[in-house]
Homo-oligomer: A and B are copies of this chain.
Amino acid sequence: MTKFDKTKFELDNLIMNHDVYEIIKRIKRENRGLKTLLKVSKSLSASLEIEDVLYKAMEYVEKVCKAEASSIWEIDHEKKELFFRVIRGKHAERIKKMRLKIGEGIAGHVAKVRKPLMVNDVRKSPYWEDAFDSESTFQSRSILAIPILLGRRIIGVIELLNKKDGRGFNQKDKENLLALSGAIAIALDNARLYEERKELFIQTSFALATAIEKRDPYTGGHTKRVLDYSLQIGKALGLRGKELEGLKISAILHDIGKIGIPDSILAKPASLTREEFEIIQGHPVIGAEILKEIKGMEKIVNAIKYHHERWDGKGYPENLKGEEIPLWARIIAVADTFDALTTSRPYRKRISEREALEEIERNIEKQFCPDCGKAFLKIMRG
């Protein structure tokens, strides 16, 4: 029997036993399903900044399975807990910081046994935990939960909540969700790897910057505080994603040029001479020099170089003025000055936070960018 004959024979058998319309419809349906799956699979891997992509994927899954809400839990293997990677639905914001122990609740149970669980009346399930509903005021009725497996390793759990028709989820919903879970697993894992890289970079930069900072005996904790203030100002000004990340790295590295300043000047327990002061003023340029060859660091190099420029053009090293000064540098300038004012130096005593804020207010449009200065005052004064 040739291959063609075999197919023909199988088809004959099929057609004898079923309505030909039904057969064609079934294959066509499968076909459509595959196309959608392919589309979603592709969109899932389309970004390493995964939150948005997963959010959209869940939106789609909700639509296909007609669910009211959904979430993706990721597993924190160290703490043996689940946390939300994505959460969609009424008052999701209220519960997104909540965690679940492995074994606890429906998602926790699925994480433990690594098998799908379909619960069509949550009140009757031995695994049901009410805490999330009471916090969010969302009312769970039916839940479909499946494990996200990467090979044999479990990395998370997907949950669909409340089938809209009120009748609960069915076998078909489960199959659809299972078909997608492989692609979700990969997307999640890629995003995790990418984030680990980011974190490694940021934390190593921070550790090295802090070590360098320690050479200056008068500025303990300065890097950390400037970083915190800068991020708060950045967020208040609406920065997010890559913009916020760049600001973060700039703030961490803003003083690394101090590596080029001798101990004798950094540690001098008295006022500096004019010459020594000029040497210290070289640190933004030295910092920029250190990083200038690195591809992808151009904006960060500029933020470091110009974090002592002033809005009125009277700063250093290049007397840039107003918006000629990069935004990250203008933000760091406010954070840096506030921290300098509120910590003691050999040549002057610290002033109180209240006084420092007044000082900053007086210097808006002179020393500081008005937007950055005002945002900071608002943050600090509440």
Contacts and interface: CB of A to CB of B under 8 A. Distances in A.
Q: In terms of DSSP, what is the predominant structure of the interface of chain A?
A: helix
Nearest to A23: B24
B297 A200 contact: yes
A196 interface: yes
Nearest to A151: B46
Interface in A274-305: 290-291, 293-297
Contacts of A42: 41, 182-183, 186
Contact of A196 (B46, B200, B296): B296
A197 B186 contact: no
B203 A201 contact: no
Given A23-B24, A31-B30, A263-B262, A211 B48 contact: no
Contacts of A194: 48, 193-194, 197
B207 A204 contact: no
A20 interface: yes
Contact of A290 (B28, B46, B207, B293): B207
A30 B24 CA distance: 13
A296 to B, nearest CB: 5
A354 interface: no
The 10 A-B residue pairs with the shortest CB-CB distance in the complex, in nearest-first order: A45-B45, A34-B34, A263-B263, A201-B201, A197-B197, A203-B294, A211-B290, A211-B259, A208-B208, A27-B27
14 contacts: A7-B25, A24-B27, A27-B31, A31-B31, A42-B182, A45-B187, A197-B197, A200-B201, A201-B204, A207-B294, A208-B256, A212-B212, A214-B260, A263-B263
